[in-house]
Amino acid sequence: MIRYFSTRDEKAEKGVSSAAAIKRGIAPDGGLYSPDVIPEVTPDFIDSLKDLEYSARAAKILSLFLSDDYSGPEIEAFCGAAYSPEAFPDGAAPLKDIGDGKFVLELWHGPSCAFKDMALQLMPRLLSAAITKTGEKRDALILVATSGDTGKAALEGYRDIDRIKIEVFYPAEGVSMIQKLQMMTQAGSNVDVCGIRGNFDDAQNGVKSIFTDGDIAAELDRRGLFLSSANSINWGRLLPQVVYYFSAYADLLKQGAVSPGERIDFVVPTGNFGNIFSGYLAYRMGLPVGRLVCASNRNRVLTDFFSTGVYDKNRSFYTTSSPSMDILISSNLERLLAYSAGPVRTAGYMSELKKTGRYSVGESILGDIRDIFAGYCADDEETSAAIGRYWKERHYLADTHTAVALSCADRYISETGQERPCVVLSTASPFKFASSVYSSVTSFEAEPGYRALEMLSEATGIPVPARLSGIDRRAVRFPDVCDADGMRRRMLTFAG
């Protein structure tokens, strides 16, 4: 039996099942649910993934964590539906060989064209079943405040899922044109979308205040609903991401690019530390990983943490060309701390962070962390240069987030002389950030609006992805914008 404990549970006594952890999202003490044992796999297990499709690889790996609550056929059915050819027409996580021992793992072939689909296509199915399994009588209302990518991926994942409704709030002037169109044209019978007059913080604070309001909870309870969240602190969002680390290794084995047991490095464009933490779980399960390289943009709070052991969010916040990584509090780092330093110390760090904005882990814990992690960062200029370089030299077109990782990979390899195969995770389609990518490739400015996508396509000969093609001409279902204090009324109307 695997039990899920809060990262701050000092007595380690309040463990819950996987279904309960997925339903609750965050632990009552504010910590993050994490498994008490990390299942280990054998080299034969890894080898057996080679000849399977992605959905079957996913089912085998997820079963190791979920089989106390979910049956084998159930997990297979969920994975089959989540990673179907309809959802991922070009394959769920194709691995591209770009030469010199470097590979790109493309995680953006899902409905929103960003990597959050990898988890959000699956998690709603796990949650929907968890509601039934835990004997919950009410249905879930998922409330999301988004600065861009999460909103669309969550809407696509939760639409038309049984016993769940989803409502997304976004800053009307604070997301990209493509992201806004993706949300305003959303399909599904259980979805609602509304813009907010204000910035992302206003949207997020509005959502937080709804979550902590006892009167609203009681009112929703009368209507047979409870609130739940879709963000990356939920165990149900981390777990599906473990799969593609194994999948990349299985593909390398299949291509003969590695021999069984040979170690490889991963370079991960990082914001909230969810993606790379899933890589850490894969490593702890027995995947032969040499290094997990954490790639940050100019908001380099994690780079500094890995070099000094001091996490300090008291610093300027920068808006960069890789907005999904513009973060000063990387929530999932708490899970790494819990495994490295234990819940007692982790609870202490988190209360320090809340009080003073910083904490320090000390030499010995930092040493353990650095045995597997390394931190690198790239500013906008280096990122843009990497996009141009990889396009000109290797004909690989990367988005801005992926390019941060490519730039970091190059520095990591030149500084360490490392010769292991290196897998760079690619987290968004270049067309999602078309105007930055266009100017990096051509040195000219793109025209505003949808035209930028067409210009990028003309300049590179790569077609606009079907999911984004003509998005400016689709019917708008959700044109509304409200003030931040109108969010409650909107939510209660939607709740019905």
Parallel, antiparallel, or unpaired for β 4-6 and 33-35?
antiparallel
* 269 forms part of the interface with ligand PLP (CB under 6 A): yes
From the list 24-32, 63-71, 265-273, 358-366, the region that binds ligand PLP by CB under 6 A is: 265-273
Q: Which is nearer to ligand PLP, 183 or 491 (CB)?
A: 183
CA distance 242 to 354: 29
Residues in 130-169 at the binding interface with ligand PLP, rule: CB under 6 A: 149
* 232 forms part of the interface with ligand PLP (CB under 6 A): yes
Q: Minimum distance from CB of 206 to ligand PLP (Å)?
A: 21
* Residue 51 neighbours by CB under 8 Å, 6+ apart: 254
From the list 4-12, 139-147, 269-277, 464-472, the region that binds ligand PLP by CB under 6 A is: 269-277
* 300 forms part of the interface with ligand PLP (CB under 6 A): no
CA 453 to chain centre: 24
* 106 forms part of the interface with ligand PLP (CB under 6 A): no
Q: Minimum distance from CB of 269 to ligand PLP (Å)?
A: 5
Q: Which is nearer to ligand PLP, 115 or 390 (CB)?
A: 115
Q: Minimum distance from CB of 12 to ligand PLP (Å)?
A: 26
Interface with ligand PLP (CB under 6 A), residue from 128, 229, 297, 324 = 324
Using CB under 6 A, count the residues that bind ligand PLP. 17
From residue 371, how far is each of 226, 268, 330 by CA, in Å? 42, 17, 20
Number of helical H runs and strand E runs in the chain: 20, 15
* 234 forms part of the interface with ligand PLP (CB under 6 A): no
Please say whether the beta carbons of 168 and 135 come within 8 A. no
Q: Which is nearer to ligand PLP, 5 or 280 (CB)?
A: 280
From the list 113-121, 188-196, 307-315, 443-451, the region that binds ligand PLP by CB under 6 A is: 113-121
Q: Minimum distance from CB of 120 to ligand PLP (Å)?
A: 11
Please say whether the beta carbons of 50 and 80 come within 8 A. no
* Residue 95 neighbours by CB under 8 Å, 6+ apart: 103, 104, 105, 106, 247, 248, 251, 252, 423
* 204 forms part of the interface with ligand PLP (CB under 6 A): no
Nearest to 269 by CA among 386, 152, 109: 386
What residues form DSSP beta bridges with 167? 143, 192
Q: Minimum distance from CB of 401 to ligand PLP (Å)?
A: 4
Q: Minimum distance from CB of 316 to ligand PLP (Å)?
A: 20
CA distance 45 to 52: 12
* Contact characters 423-462, ligand PLP, x per CB under 6 A: ----xx----------------------------------
From residue 41, how far is each of 64, 161, 285 by CA, in Å? 9, 32, 6
Q: Could you please report the per-residue DSSP string of 408-440?
A: HHHHHHHHH---S-EEEEE-B-GGGGHHHHHHH
DSSP state of 198: S
Strands (E), 172-320: 191-197, 225-228, 264-269, 289-296, 310-312
Q: Minimum distance from CB of 486 to ligand PLP (Å)?
A: 28
* 8 forms part of the interface with ligand PLP (CB under 6 A): no
Interface with ligand PLP (CB under 6 A), residue from 66, 207, 325, 409 = 325
Interface with ligand PLP (CB under 6 A), residue from 34, 55, 190, 270 = 270
Question: N- to C-terminal Cα distance for the chain?
Answer: 39
CA-atom Rg of the chain in angstroms: 22
Interface with ligand PLP (CB under 6 A), residue from 7, 55, 231, 275 = 275
Nearest to 495 by CA among 22, 197, 487, 476: 487
Q: Which is nearer to ligand PLP, 60 or 109 (CB)?
A: 109
Q: Minimum distance from CB of 303 to ligand PLP (Å)?
A: 13
* 274 forms part of the interface with ligand PLP (CB under 6 A): yes
From the list 11-19, 73-81, 114-122, 212-220, the region that binds ligand PLP by CB under 6 A is: 114-122
From the list 21-29, 124-132, 248-256, 272-280, the region that binds ligand PLP by CB under 6 A is: 272-280
* 279 forms part of the interface with ligand PLP (CB under 6 A): no
Q: Minimum distance from CB of 444 to ligand PLP (Å)?
A: 24
CA distance 235 to 233: 6
Q: Which is nearer to ligand PLP, 292 or 441 (CB)?
A: 292
From residue 417, how far is each of 119, 295, 298 by CA, in Å? 34, 18, 24
Q: Minimum distance from CB of 115 to ligand PLP (Å)?
A: 6
From residue 152, how far is each of 28, 141, 160 by CA, in Å? 28, 16, 14
Q: What is the largest CA-CA distance in the chain?
A: 62
Interface with ligand PLP (CB under 6 A), residue from 60, 109, 116, 165 = 116
Q: Minimum distance from CB of 270 to ligand PLP (Å)?
A: 4
Residues in 374-403 at the binding interface with ligand PLP, rule: CB under 6 A: 401
Nearest to 386 by CA among 483, 457, 295: 295
CA distance 225 to 140: 6
Interface with ligand PLP (CB under 6 A), residue from 78, 200, 273, 450 = 273
Q: Is residue 176 left, alpha or beta, with left meaning phi > 0 and alpha meaning psi from -120 to 50?
A: beta
Residues that bind ligand PLP in the complex, under the rule CB under 6 A: 114-116, 149, 232, 269-275, 324-325, 401, 427-428
